[in-house]
């Protein structure tokens, strides 16, 4: 089992460019999440998907969109990147909402 | 407002020594509390999870305690090793929907 995988590991974007972060899990989990982590701050929820076919906004959704493509995959899209979106992005999954979460290795994104 | 506060922000200890990290929360109602370990450049990994009725749980050299009345938890690390150098994150969840708050973490440095 690979657990939770994320691609890419690193990315540099110019302001205004768009990109999609990919996430997949092979644990047959129902719930999936996207977080960002900034220095000195806790993980902040961007969007989550409680189950296949549903998505909901988290604490900091502005500037992002998500797609729950199927039970395995949950992608995060930045339509027009801004320097404030420079961060480390983590995808996670859990059997159900509020259960133990399993995290991917993260994507380090820099927007110049 | 639901919050999770951790202390200290950072800690330096000598290899072989014990240490205790603190977590205070205001999340209510309460469902479970988790401690995660996050190595530099990696995603968080779960150490322990406790529900309302549990007041202590161990995972090897890690022992977590929970006082649901005072809304406090601690993580005790015994006989620290160099590999314990990491951030330790306290996470508190409420029941129903998605109500999960991450603390900012305690950065632990274990020196030889």
Write out pLDDT tens, residues B37-77.
Answer: 999 989 999 999 999 889 999 999 999 999 999 999 999 99
Q: Do the chains contact at A42 and B43, CB–CB below 8 Å?
A: no
pLDDT beyond 70 at B97? no
3-state secondary structure of B82: helix
Q: What span, in angstroms and rounded, lies between the C-alpha atoms of B2 and B26?
A: 5
For chains A and B, what is the number of CB pairs under 8 angstroms? 50
Give A-chain residues touching B44 at CB under 8 angstroms. Answer: 43, 90, 103
Does position A76 have pLDDT exceeding 80, yes or no?
A: yes
- Of B21-30, B64-73, B98-107, the range with the lowest mean pLDDT is B98-107
Residue A66 phi/psi, 5-degree rounding, is -130, 160
Which residue reads 């540099």 in tokens? A12
**Which residue(s) pair with A41 in the sheet?**
none
| Predicted pLDDT at B95 | 79
Judged against a pLDDT cut of 80, whether residue B13 lies above it is answered with yes
B8 at A interface, C-beta within 8 A: no
CA of B112, closest CA in chain A: separation in Å?
26
pLDDT for A96 equals 81
Backbone angles phi, psi at B95, to 5 degrees: -80, 155
Query: What does the pLDDT average to over B84-108?
Result: 89
- The pLDDT of residue B20 is 98
For B77, other C-beta atoms within 10 Å of its C-beta total 23
pLDDT for position B22: 98
Q: Which of A1-5, B22-26, B94-98 has the highest mean pLDDT?
A: B22-26
pLDDT at B39: 94
Do residues B41 and B87 make contact, with C-beta atoms less than 8 angstroms apart? no
**Dist. CA B73–CA B50, nearest whole Å:** 10
């Amino acid at each position: 089992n690979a657990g939770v995988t994320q691609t890419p590991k690193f990315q540099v974007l110019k302001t205004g460019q768009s990109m999609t972060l990919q996430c997949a899990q092979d644990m047959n989990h129902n719930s999936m999440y996207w977080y960002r982590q900034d220095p000195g701050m806790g993980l902040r929820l961007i969007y989550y998907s409680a189950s296949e076919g549903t998505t909901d906004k988290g604490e900091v959704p502005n500037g992002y969109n998500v797609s729950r493509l199927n039970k395995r995959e949950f992608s995060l899209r930045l339509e027009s990147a801004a320097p404030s979106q420079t961060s480390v992005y983590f995808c996670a999954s859990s059997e159900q909402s509020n259960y133990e979460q399993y995290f991917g290795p993260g994507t380090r994104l820099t927007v110049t | 407002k639901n919050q999770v506060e951790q202390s200290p922000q950072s800690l330096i200890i000598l290899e072989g020594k014990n240490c205790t990290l603190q977590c205070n929360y205001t999340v209510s109602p309460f469902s479970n509390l988790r401690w995660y370990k996050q190595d530099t450049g990696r995603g968080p990994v779960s150490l322990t999870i406790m529900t309302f009725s549990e007041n202590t749980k161990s995972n090897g050299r890690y022992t977590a305690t929970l006082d649901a009345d005072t809304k406090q938890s601690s993580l005790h690390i015994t006989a620290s090793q160099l590999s314990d150098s990491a951030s330790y994150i306290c996470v508190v969840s409420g029941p129903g929907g998605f109500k999960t708050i991450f603390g900012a973490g305690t950065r632990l440095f274990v020196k030889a």
